[in-house]
Structure 1
């Protein structure tokens, strides 16, 4: 593209490459991505339907899980339709405003998801360490406020990112983004001028969200394990820990890919671009796929409700 080496002021559009270096395989790569996106939509919508339909599931843990499902739907839908458009039709053009909006949605809702995991850890802490007060502490009103606080934190943390790009980085040396979506640093690297403020702010937000949230979650589980170890019998300990199993799996599914992707992006200069881009897509797609599966398999109430729905559908047919 002739414009890729021209410096321009606020380009009308960028060009997303998709998976750089694997353009000739885009049609084949689209098959697992399309299947994975379909699974994410089906799993999270099913989870939302089950929680909404069953009044017995209108408890804090399941309400947080419903919030998680909505967030996963936003994260996957903010990237996958555009990515499939690139794979199938070569539709890599994306307007500046659309690019900044996509960037905001991705980073904002990843931040919100981290906040919901923190709220879920607090819920498990109260339920296990102070069970008699669980229903009075985690009321529906409190659950809603915690969800709103997670959303507002995401907006406040991430809102400055697209504004800083628009106001501080008006000149660009290229329009081609060697990525499959408008990730913050992928856009910043195309800009001319001093981008240190963008880099520092991005790193600071990453530290606040990834490090501090994970430390707070780890601290809550230290207290939970101490309380569990004080139970009288091994059976009681296993049963109590079992209520935390789904949450721990979901946390690992979310934090491990995003941590690996962030470290590779910042420090893994020897990692081939296709590997980095695939990892960046995985951390937005794997949690939406696996979270409903993990909770359906490990949570008795959701599993039983899902089996009941499947049996009803089978009888109707």
Structure 2
């Protein structure tokens, strides 16, 4: 199959199309700080949950998995993007592009599955509080997250990557995107690949719509439970913590579904610079905000973080 790729051995990542050279330093600096923020916030989440036994609770374990996925996604994309504008290193070997396609879609799928699991966790906590500890156990969390990490996401995105590797490239090797993803890479095809495109679209819709459907069902049941419960005031307070989750869910699913559908409609096109900006906003901005929205705003985490900082200060004095 590699004979299809003899004409192209490396890919050029365009990044933000049309961006003037004068802004390359500014853009790379902004992305560098975005990566540092993601690294710090998500790393803090993973560190606190891993090394504090008090946080070994289902909700925090789910959030730690999400933080890990976000951090790894940013690590396989942002450093190369920063180097593209900071040092002019815009090329990437074809095989590494395929590897990035796999990882980008792998961690993107993980976010979708983990948001679904978090919604299920909130549903049980609010609608079946007395049974919560017996239903959502550490073992259930470990098994469900493990299935997503080792079976669901790898199997789906191996198929996506294999389909990408079959795309014949005959000339142009410039990917109008911030990183190697299937849709941007498929635009380089020199023959009709409508069949593989449809397969990838179906896989993408499965990854996006199935979790989204289950999330919506969970939150509809939560709203119904709140509206008919005698403990409506306490449940409303519990649901208020879910509202920020819903915002993250909407910001994750809505633009991805829109972009996947639009990119597969022949007569509809999005300007490359607009597409790149949207891709940046919905891919990286939530990764900086998620730890604050899901984790650092909770009382237990604030207390744990305060103890950790106070402990480090005491050690410095000693």
Same fold (TM over 0.5): yes
Question: Structure 1 residue 99: deviation in Å?
Answer: 0.2
Give per-residue Cα distances to partners, 1:191-243, cap 9 Å, x unaligned: 22231122101211221122221111000111111112232245313222134
Counterparts of 1:164-313 in structure 2 under 5 Å? Answer: 164-166=163-165, 168-263=166-261, 265-266=263-264, 269=268, 271-313=270-312
Asked whether the equivalents of residues 66 and 114 of structure 2 are also in contact (C-alpha less than 8 Å), the reply is: yes
Q: 1:296 to 1:133 in 2, by over 3 A?
A: closer
1:4 match? none
1:35 match? 33
Question: Structure 1 residue 281: deviation in Å?
Answer: 2.1
1:3 match? none
Instruction: Compare 64-73 and 147-156 and name the one that shifted more.
Output: 147-156
Asked whether the equivalents of residues 19 and 26 of structure 1 are also in contact (C-alpha less than 8 Å), the reply is: no
Question: Structure 1 residue 141: deviation in Å?
Answer: 1.4
Give the alignment partner of residue 10 of structure 2, picking from 2, 10, 13.
Answer: 13
Distance (whole Å) between structure 2 residues aligned to residue 125 and residue 271 of structure 1: 37
Distance (whole Å) between structure 2 residues aligned to residue 194 and residue 14 of structure 1: 20
Question: Structure 1 residue 263: deviation in Å?
Answer: 4.9
Asked whether the equivalents of residues 228 and 240 of structure 1 are also in contact (C-alpha less than 8 Å), the reply is: no
Instruction: Compare 173-182 and 215-224 and name the one that shifted more.
Output: 173-182
Q: 1:23 to 1:13 in 2, by over 3 A?
A: farther
Distance (whole Å) between structure 1 residues aligned to residue 296 and residue 139 of structure 2: 29
Distance (whole Å) between structure 1 residues aligned to residue 191 and residue 269 of structure 2: 25
Q: 1:195 to 1:271 in 2, by over 3 A?
A: closer
Question: Structure 1 residue 170: deviation in Å?
Answer: 3.3
Residue ranges of structure 2 left out of the alignment (5+ in a row):
none
Asked whether the equivalents of residues 20 and 274 of structure 1 are also in contact (C-alpha less than 8 Å), the reply is: yes
Question: Structure 1 residue 269: deviation in Å?
Answer: 4.6
Total equivalences in the alignment: 310
Distance (whole Å) between structure 2 residues aligned to residue 256 and residue 185 of structure 1: 17
Instruction: Compare 250-259 and 58-67 and name the one that shifted more.
Output: 250-259
Question: Structure 1 residue 297: deviation in Å?
Answer: 4.9
Q: Secondary structure at the match of 1:172?
A: coil
RMSD between superposed Cα atoms in Å: 2.2
Residue ranges of structure 1 left out of the alignment (5+ in a row):
1-6
1:59 match? 57
2:160 match? 161
Instruction: Compare 245-254 and 223-232 and name the one that shifted more.
Output: 245-254
Q: Normalization by structure 2: what TM-score?
A: 0.90
Q: 1:162 to 1:309 in 2, by over 3 A?
A: same
Question: Structure 1 residue 73: deviation in Å?
Answer: 0.7
Give per-residue Cα distances to partners, 1:18-60, cap 9 Å, x unaligned: 2111042222211211111110000000111121232221111
Q: Secondary structure at the match of 1:159?
A: helix
Question: Structure 1 residue 266: deviation in Å?
Answer: 4.3
